[in-house]
Structure 1
Amino acid sequence: MAVDREAVLFGAASHDIGKVIHTAELSGPGSVHEEAGHRLLLDHGVEERLARFARTHAAWTEPDIAIEDLLVSLADKVWKGKRVPDLEQKVVDRLAAASGQATWQAFLDLDDLLTAIAAEADRRLAFQSAHPISG
């Protein structure tokens, strides 16, 4: 499967950049940071192909969404230890179709990887909570 690795890494690292403007969303719910982050990145010269993840990381249910957007959405969830079966299934379906691998095998392989990443979520979230942002 052809994947823009640079874009996925950038998106995973920067998708929540709008929370620097909407700091209440650092620890609470909200989606205002998505469009704000997209605009912030564009205003600072980031290409749309990279800036889009600030806007699309919660839009994984959209039809025809690119694999890169799905991977950034998946990274966003699993980093926090959240497993989203419908999102994971979209990724599994893409992986199986691209590789010719049986869907069940693609699921097992992805599940092993996501389980390992999610296992460290409590440690990451505790570190984040130990460094609160006050505004």
Structure 2
Amino acid sequence: MPSPILRRALTEPGLRPLPERAARLLEDLDAPPRLAAHLRAVHDVAAELVDWMSRRHPGLAVDAEAVLFGAATHDIGKALHPAELSGPGAEHERAGHGLLRERGVEERLARFARTHASWDDPGIGVDDLLVSLADAIWKAERVTRLEQRLVEVLAAASGQAEWEAFMDLDDICDRIAAGADGRLAFQSAYPAAGGTESIA
């Protein structure tokens, strides 16, 4: 049975609810409430990015279900490595991927737990880039190389000049970043095991 505060982190109004399957996983793990709040914040931003992609780049194949589930579970390994909720570390990436696979989550959806911090690796596609971008821009962090990589994908798929794709992406990132204070406040309202600082 999940704690009442975890249940509140998963259901409190203000951000989109997580996909039901992701929320159940967090409940089964009795995950730290701050982790659930963080995943909701990143998922909410990912949903904005997916909506924007469908409007601005309808010809680019985006697996919306995968992006949303990936954003909702990308840090789930921090339930197993709670020290990484408030401090550095990458153990949660492999652990989260393994946890999801052990619980029957198919690779198409589970991979983001290990790829969200590896967006500059070869073979990373647009879905992975969107989850990585959501994981940065939710708190108004602008990662130039990540955004440039996505600009190149958008320009190649749409036939736009890179500068046009950059302006388009920069606009949505600015709009999303403007709401960072509210998302940070939502996350920090919930306790984390091992500390009270924001998680990355």
Using the size of structure 2 for normalisation, the TM-score is 0.65
Residue segments in structure 2 that go unaligned for 5+ positions in a row: 1-59, 195-200
Q: Which residue of 2 aligns with 1:11?
A: 70
Q: CA separation in 2, counterparts of 1:81 and 1:112? A: 13
Deviation per CA, 1:56-114: give whole Å up to 9, x if none.
00001101211111111111111121100000000001001100111111111111101
Q: Where does residue 192 of structure 2 map in the other structure?
A: 133
Matches for 1:1-135 after TM superposition, within 5 Å: 1-134=60-193
Tell me the equivalent position of 2:33.
none
User: Secondary structure at 2:123's aligned position in 1?
Assistant: coil
Structure 1 counterpart of 2:64, one-letter code:
R
Q: What is the RMSD computed on CA atoms of the aligned residues?
A: 1.1
* Whole-angstrom CA distance in 1 between matches of 2:137 and 2:193: 26
Q: Deviation above 3 Å: which 4+ runs of structure 1? A: none
Query: How much has 1:122 moved relative to structure 2?
Result: 1.9
Deviates more, 1:20-29 or 1:30-39: 20-29
TM-score between the two structures when normalised by the length of structure 1 = 0.95
Task: For 1:35 and 1:90, locate their aligned partners in 2 and report how far apart those are by CA, in whole Å.
Answer: 24
Instruction: Give me the whole-angstrom Cα distance separating, in 1, the residues matched to 2:152 and 2:191.
Output: 38
Query: Where does the alignment leave 5 or more consecutive residues of structure 1 unmatched?
Result: none
